[in-house]
Structure 1
Amino acid sequence: MLRSLRLAAILGGLILSAPVLAVDVPAAGYGFPLHNAFEATIAGTPPDMRPELPADKDIDQSDYTLNLLPQREFELPDNFWAVKKLRYRLAVQDKPAPLIFLIAGTGAPYTSSINEFLKKLYYKAGYNVVQLSSPTSFDFMSAASRHATPGISTEDAEDLYRVMQAVMAAHPKLAVTEYYLTGYSLGALDAAFVSKLDETRRAFNFKKVLLLNPPVNLYTSITNLDRMVQTEVKGVNDTTTYYDLMLSKLTRYFQDKGYIDLNDALIYDLQNSKQHLSNEQMAMLIGTSFRFSSADIAFTSDLINRRGLITPPKTPISEGTSLTPFLKTAMQCDFDCYITEQLIPSWRARTDGGSLTQLVNQVSLYALKDYLHDSKKIAVMHNADDVILGTGDIGFLRSTFGDRLTLYPYGGHCGNINYRVNSDAMLEFFRG
């Protein structure tokens, strides 16, 4: 009897100390139809597989502005008049309710399509919702960033936190029962750092935090995206550009279809036609989209800080100034270029920062490993085929989050966020 009790105690101890496994969604039972990561990233979920959501007219929402323009060495040029105040969107319930903050992804404004989807999803479920731009968007950089050189996660979190506090101060009569936080892509990484900051500031005491498709190693993610622009695409040569090729494919697609129909299902339909894009063409499309984001970041940061890398410091810029030459220069600067030429020098000048490796460790989820491991209110939803992940990233998520990681087999980068199965899981997480 005593031996049995001892054996039971030993086995119990082993069970308690065993690692908690992630929730791996089996491919056989997951109905998301796009099994190609590039396709899923571009096309997203077919409309008939998305949840039913309220129309804009059925949501009590408005856009507001905050006058937060920080004290910086240089003043914004006159042609930045439209972004000298930070805009955000607030949807409110007609009774006391929880409030959830949404943080947009790389370079995206508060009105991004994923933010809009998440707003409608949570509003329908009874939440007040605040939509925020990414710290890497030109409007946030202009109106709310203290250094206008985003990419240092702790500093971006400080800026976001200040914005969140200002939003709540601007709506003192809003009846909030508790606070939640989520973000997608880079916004998910931001949400993790904001949550950590809130542990000491305690302005919100977030009850739950959900990270959707976050980069684990930020440098790995941007390197993956930078490489996509360098993809060799069949048919692109000295006389035919990638854009010529894409336009030709779309033209033939609409000719075969018999009419022009620009809607959410366009890419999904295109990929099921004989004009479908190859993996190389889709990789180039994704990479080019993110190259525009890096160009925006590089141009805006350079202009605000008068660094002279893209816009000569003494060049007068007004509303009538053509920005085309500057855009062409900025488009040659990928994420790695921005980090090397602007982010690292700015970081070193302000913090006595060190090497690129030290920076990468500070701005990635690695820096929060212990906090994320121990904080049971934080969960991650990710895709095994996400194009921004690198070797070891999923292993890090498994060991750090355990059963608070839900890993879907397909979906690419954020392509399945608006799939019904995923959206139901998001709601279930916040409902507890």
Structure 2
Amino acid sequence: MPMKAGQALRVLACLLFLCALPGLVAAKDYGYPLANPFEATIAGTPGPLMPQLPATRDIKQKDYSFNLRPEREHGLPANFWAVKRFKYRLARQKHEAPLIFIIAGTGARYDASGMEYLKKLFYGAGFHVVQLSSPTSYDFMVSASKHATPGYSPLDAAELYAVMQRIRQRHDDLPVSDWHLTGYSLGALEAAFVSEMDSQQQAIGFSRTLLINPPVNLHTSVSNLDRMARVRLDDLPLGESFYQSLFDRLARFFERKGRFDLNEAMLFEFQQSRERLNDEQLALLIASVFRFASADINFVSDLINRRGLITQPGVRINDGTSLTPYFELAMLCDFNCYLRDQLLPFWQKRYQPDGSLEQLIHATSLYALADYLRQADNLAVMHNADDIILGEGDLEYLDGLLGSRLMLYPRGGHLGNMQFTTNAADMLEFFHAQTYE
């Protein structure tokens, strides 16, 4: 039986330690205004508290593409024509400058709103910038990933690292003084694995790596979000479906804007409207975004690998095929379901035949990089004490590994303060500093 919303959120708050942790918070007089972690996660940073950024028209940038998986040119439905070539965005300075690779969060493309913000921030500070889609985005899965089964961090990192090397070779005329790396959310976890890989192979030689709100234990983070999706809302009007309301509002946003960015739509439709959501609705809304991303991963991974879990073997999908039945099936399987049904069997077959789920969880989390993180003085983590993806003991674990290389803020939820002026200044200071103590 599902818990009532209030009960579930109180349990979740206890699990997540949604309070400042004494001795770990970086600044006592932190000016970020939103104390509610759920609201911060969705609403982000108010405009007046964001840094000044260059206008898009003032950025010299271009989208490029590679044909990395030619075997899929004719092996996938025509619906995927737009993502059969791997795409990325490069913003270049007119002079020699450091270059920074940015890895997107769960399910996000290279041109997502968070990626555009970070591009403008670093470009305005004098960096060349390369924007990369998440390995969990459908375009990366289709156009770049050999196995299209994301979630095993070492493999995701290897595919990202290979793409970065291809990009470096393609733009070998670009005058680069230093190479840097960052990512947010799941992209931050992947950046940690890429950084560790680069420390051994030195194919690029990253000078600095910054992880922005990474999950410590990926399984804990996705379980938190899956748990939020199971909250029951008791205060909705009789007969109204929260999900139907969600779809209706997103449809209105798309109709007005003529384009779709899920994070921007959530902010516009819910937090800037008169119908502000309570904590229970906010929690479900956050979980819903993640659930949609999980459905994409489930569907695309099953389709490309022809596993028959969602798309029946032998059934051809073309432009005229309704994807609604497949989407509904994919929505029934959350990320933990994907982990059990697709990722675990794939990992066991390819890497560890007798491996357990617990071993897979360890191998995909920062625990697997403990020795590297402890000694990597060119790597730092930015996090929030009230981040909703964290579990019990995660911040203490990071503090024990990183010490002063953990920049912890008392509030901001999950990425809500990424665009706050203090955070922006700290990001730039980390990459511009000669040493980090």
Normalising to structure 1: TM-score of the pair?
0.88
* Amino acid paired to 2:144: A
* Amino acid paired to 1:291: R
**For residue 123 of structure 1, what is the aligned residue in structure 2?**
123
**Which segments of 5 or more consecutive residues in structure 1 lack a partner in the other structure?**
1-20, 251-261
**For residue 417 of structure 2, what is the aligned residue in structure 1?**
416
SS at match of 1:224: helix
Q: Does 1:399 align with 2:380?
A: no
Offset of residue 75 of structure 1: 3.2
State the alpha-carbon separation in 2 of the partners of residues 50 and 279 from structure 1: 25
**For residue 8 of structure 1, what is the aligned residue in structure 2?**
none
Equivalent runs, 1:225-304 vs 2, <5 Å = 225-236=225-236, 239-244=239-244, 267-270=270-273, 275-304=275-304
Q: Deviations over 1:340-380 (max 9, x none)?
A: 11000111111124111000100000000110010100000
Q: Does 1:357 align with 2:358?
A: yes
Contact 1:103/1:133 (<8 A) preserved: yes
SS at match of 2:206: coil
SS at match of 1:102: strand
* Amino acid paired to 1:372: L
**For residue 383 of structure 1, what is the aligned residue in structure 2?**
384
Ranges of 4+ aligned residues in structure 1 off by more than 4 Å: 244-250, 262-270
Contact 2:213/2:384 (<8 A) preserved: yes
* Amino acid paired to 1:375: A
Over 3 Å counting, the alpha-carbon distance change for 1:264 and 1:106 in structure 2 is closer
Larger radius of gyration: 1
Over 3 Å counting, the alpha-carbon distance change for 1:152 and 1:238 in structure 2 is farther
SS at match of 1:290: helix
SS at match of 1:322: coil
* Amino acid paired to 1:357: E
Over 3 Å counting, the alpha-carbon distance change for 1:82 and 1:263 in structure 2 is closer
Contact 1:22/1:405 (<8 A) preserved: no
* Amino acid paired to 1:384: A
Contact 1:37/1:411 (<8 A) preserved: yes
Contact 1:46/1:268 (<8 A) preserved: no
Over 3 Å counting, the alpha-carbon distance change for 1:313 and 1:183 in structure 2 is same
**For residue 314 of structure 2, what is the aligned residue in structure 1?**
314
State the alpha-carbon separation in 1 of the partners of residues 410 and 420 from structure 2: 13
Q: Does 1:50 align with 2:34?
A: no
Over 3 Å counting, the alpha-carbon distance change for 1:43 and 1:141 in structure 2 is same
Offset of residue 82 of structure 1: 1.6
**For residue 344 of structure 1, what is the aligned residue in structure 2?**
344
Over 3 Å counting, the alpha-carbon distance change for 1:115 and 1:22 in structure 2 is farther
State the alpha-carbon separation in 2 of the partners of residues 22 and 82 from structure 1: 49
**For residue 200 of structure 1, what is the aligned residue in structure 2?**
200
State the alpha-carbon separation in 2 of the partners of residues 249 and 89 from structure 1: 30
* Amino acid paired to 2:107: G
State the alpha-carbon separation in 1 of the partners of residues 70 and 152 from structure 2: 17
**For residue 371 of structure 2, what is the aligned residue in structure 1?**
370
Over 3 Å counting, the alpha-carbon distance change for 1:51 and 1:360 in structure 2 is same
**For residue 144 of structure 1, what is the aligned residue in structure 2?**
144
State the alpha-carbon separation in 2 of the partners of residues 159 and 304 from structure 1: 17
State the alpha-carbon separation in 1 of the partners of residues 60 and 27 from structure 2: 39
Offset of residue 211 of structure 1: 0.1
**For residue 105 of structure 2, what is the aligned residue in structure 1?**
105
State the alpha-carbon separation in 2 of the partners of residues 162 and 408 from structure 1: 34
* Amino acid paired to 1:39: E
SS at match of 1:204: coil
Contact 2:67/2:84 (<8 A) preserved: yes
Equivalent runs, 1:160-179 vs 2, <5 Å = 160-179=160-179
Offset of residue 26 of structure 1: 3.3
Offset of residue 83 of structure 1: 1.3
Contact 1:22/1:403 (<8 A) preserved: no
* Amino acid paired to 2:230: Q
Offset of residue 322 of structure 1: 1.2
Contact 1:23/1:404 (<8 A) preserved: no
Q: Report how many residues are paired.
A: 396
Normalising to structure 2: TM-score of the pair?
0.87
State the alpha-carbon separation in 1 of the partners of residues 181 and 248 from structure 2: 43
**Which segments of 5 or more consecutive residues in structure 2 lack a partner in the other structure?**
1-21, 251-264
**For residue 80 of structure 1, what is the aligned residue in structure 2?**
80
Q: Deviations over 1:395-426 (max 9, x none)?
A: 11100110000110100000100000000000
SS at match of 1:101: strand
Contact 1:22/1:402 (<8 A) preserved: no
Offset of residue 248 of structure 1: 9.7
Q: Does 1:189 align with 2:184?
A: no
* Amino acid paired to 1:424: A
Pairwise CA RMSD: 2.1
Contact 1:86/1:144 (<8 A) preserved: yes
SS at match of 1:65: strand
State the alpha-carbon separation in 1 of the partners of residues 175 and 249 from structure 2: 52
State the alpha-carbon separation in 2 of the partners of residues 39 and 379 from structure 1: 26
Q: Deviations over 1:143-166 (max 9, x none)?
A: 111110001100001100111011
Q: Deviations over 1:213-239 (max 9, x none)?
A: 000000000000111111111234872
Over 3 Å counting, the alpha-carbon distance change for 1:421 and 1:84 in structure 2 is same
Offset of residue 208 of structure 1: 0.4
State the alpha-carbon separation in 1 of the partners of residues 161 and 266 from structure 2: 36
Over 3 Å counting, the alpha-carbon distance change for 1:268 and 1:319 in structure 2 is closer
State the alpha-carbon separation in 1 of the partners of residues 179 and 301 from structure 2: 32
SS at match of 2:63: strand
* Amino acid paired to 1:414: L
- Bigger shift: 347-356 or 231-240? 231-240
State the alpha-carbon separation in 2 of the partners of residues 188 and 22 from structure 1: 24
Identity of aligned residues (%): 54
Contact 1:103/1:188 (<8 A) preserved: yes
